[in-house]
């Protein structure tokens, strides 16, 4: 529908599909729609980049498969649910030397795990801007939360920050790390973890997709891991046609 999705935007397409599915679900007909086929290069690109966290943890899918999309300026996206699954992605996503960011760090427990994977140790006390060691910056909108995080983990980096203000986040990276990332010459952060309340329910889907697009386009991380039920569900049901046709040929 060119008049509706003429700009080929993710949000436009997803919003349209949500409305059509909701309309179909309200009908009394038992023959409910099971598949929606959308002609959208933007949505197909998103389908290729987004992944259910369990597929990464179970080694069913590797992030290296998405390397050509990252080289084109597109971040891989992993949808996780629950703290455990969110943290279990760290060994599969974070590489030593990465500069990482956790948005919605709360009291910093996950931040310490990400930092250790990127830095090779538990703290940044011997961080050298000219070295190849990475690290993780934790940000949260709550000033009291950040005070508690700094008190609990005084050797790590924490700042009050808003995940929707990407320019502010970019300045924080320059302030604290002050060098280009080891594994990428263009990205502001190599890996970004997102744990923001309100992005899990069905009503948070469009806001979550909008946030991911903003982070991907502005900060250009290699990978974004987001704790969000609606994004994990989207990763499960959004499939590029090339994957469907490949399975049919295999059969």
Over residues 155-169, the mean pLDDT reads 94
DSSP per-residue codes, 190-245 = SEEEE--TTSSSGGGHHHHHHHHHHHHHHH--SEEEEE-HHHHHHHHH---HHHHH
Based on the structure, what is the number of domains in the chain? 1
- State the Cα–Cα distance between residues 23 and 81, nearest whole angstrom: 27
> How would residue 21 be classed by pLDDT, with cut points 50, 70 and 90?
confident
pLDDT of residue 131: 46
- State the Cα–Cα distance between residues 149 and 45, nearest whole angstrom: 37
- Answer for the pair 47, 238: CB distance below 8 angstroms, yes or no: yes
- Answer for the pair 219, 99: CB distance below 8 angstroms, yes or no: no
**Does position 25 have pLDDT exceeding 80, yes or no?**
no
- State the Cα–Cα distance between residues 206 and 212, nearest whole angstrom: 10
**Does position 27 have pLDDT exceeding 60, yes or no?**
no
Range of the domain at 12: 2-250
- What's the pTM? 0.83
**Does position 225 have pLDDT exceeding 80, yes or no?**
yes
- State the Cα–Cα distance between residues 227 and 210, nearest whole angstrom: 15
Give Cα 236 distance to the centre of its chain: 15
- The H-or-E segment that residue 194 falls in is strand 191-194
CATH number, domain with residue 78: 3.40.50.150
**Tokens 């966290």 -> residue:** 53
Q: What is the pLDDT of residues 170-202, one digit of tens each?
A: 999 988 887 554 444 445 899 999 999 877 666
**Tokens 């389908």 -> residue:** 47
**Does position 246 have pLDDT exceeding 70, yes or no?**
no
- State the Cα–Cα distance between residues 112 and 172, nearest whole angstrom: 18
Highest mean pLDDT among 3-7, 157-161, 170-174: 157-161
Q: Is 9 exposed, middle or buried (0-12, 13-18, 19+ CB in 10 A)?
A: middle
Nearest Cα neighbor of 175 from 157, 192, 190 is 157
- State the Cα–Cα distance between residues 118 and 64, nearest whole angstrom: 18
- Answer for the pair 86, 60: CB distance below 8 angstroms, yes or no: no
Highest mean pLDDT among 60-69, 117-126, 195-204: 195-204
Secondary structure of 147-178 as H, E, C letters: HHHHHHCCCCEEEECCCCCHHHHHHHHHHHCC
Q: What is the pLDDT of residues 70-94, one digit of tens each?
A: 445 689 999 999 999 999 999 999 9
As a whole-number percent, the residues of the chain with pLDDT over 90 amount to: 46
- The H-or-E segment that residue 50 falls in is strand 50-52
């Amino acid at each position: 529908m060119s008049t509706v999705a003429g700009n080929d935007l993710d949000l436009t397409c997803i919003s349209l599909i949500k409305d059509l599915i909701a309309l179909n679900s309200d009908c009394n007909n038992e023959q409910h729609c099971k598949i929606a086929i959308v002609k959208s290069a933007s949505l197909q690109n998103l389908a290729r980049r987004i992944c259910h966290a369990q597929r990464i943890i179970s080694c069913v899918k590797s992030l290296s498969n998405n390397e050509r999309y990252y080289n084109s300026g597109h971040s891989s996206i992993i949808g996780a649910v629950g703290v455990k699954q969110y943290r279990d992605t760290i060994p599969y996503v974070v590489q030593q030397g990465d500069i990482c960011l956790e948005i919605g760090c709360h009291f910093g427990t996950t931040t310490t795990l990400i930092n250790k994977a990127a830095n090779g140790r538990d703290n940044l006390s011997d961080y050298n801007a000219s070295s190849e060691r990475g690290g993780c910056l934790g940000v949260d909108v709550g000033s009291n939360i950040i005070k508690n995080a700094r008190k609990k983990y005084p050797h790590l980096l924490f700042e009050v920050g808003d995940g929707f203000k990407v320019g502010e986040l970019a300045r924080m990276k320059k302030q604290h790390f002050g060098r280009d990332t080891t594994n990428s010459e263009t990205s502001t952060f190599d890996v970004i973890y997102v744990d923001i309340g309100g992005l899990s329910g069905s009503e948070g889907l469009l806001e979550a997709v909008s946030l991911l697009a903003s982070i991907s386009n502005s900060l250009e991380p290699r990978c974004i891991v987001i704790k969000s039920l609606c994004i994990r569900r989207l990763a499960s049901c959004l499939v590029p046609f090339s994957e469907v046709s490949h399975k049919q040929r295999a059969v």
